[in-house]
Amino acid sequence: KEREPSLFKVLYKTFGPYFLMSFLFKALHDLMMFAGPEILKLLINFVNDQEAPDWQGYFYTVLLFVSACFQTLVLHQYFHICFVSGMRIKTAVIGAVYR
């Protein structure tokens, strides 16, 4: 018995790896959202500690900045992959409809 071709299966096999990659970027971004408040907590503890070395404060400040920059880059990559995949899926479906 011959089965009907499934549009969902074809799209999944074609574009599944792209969505998996975008999921990984989004999961990394969501995990990094917890880093900012934790680093800020360390920075506040540093300010309250009178005997802490100065380099520790500079380190926490740079770490907070780098974390925010990396988080932005990861989120941008996620949106880029989703946008490009969406355009490719739209093109594939339109091409399949008009064949």
Helix (H) or strand (E) segment spanning residue 14: helix 7-32
67 touches 35 (CB < 8 A): yes
- 51 within a domain of the structure (yes/no): yes
- 2 within a domain of the structure (yes/no): no
Rounded to whole angstroms, how far apart are CA atoms 49 and 56? Answer: 11
- 39 within a domain of the structure (yes/no): yes
Q: Is the pTM of this model over 0.75?
A: yes
Counting the structural domains of the chain, the total is 1
Sign of CA dihedral 19, 20, 21, 26: positive
- 81 within a domain of the structure (yes/no): yes
Structural domain boundaries enclosing 32: 7-97
Tens-digit pLDDT profile for the chain (99 aa)?
788 878 888 888 999 999 999 999 999 999 999 999 999 999 999 999 999 999 999 999 999 999 999 999 999 999 999 999 999 999 989 988 887
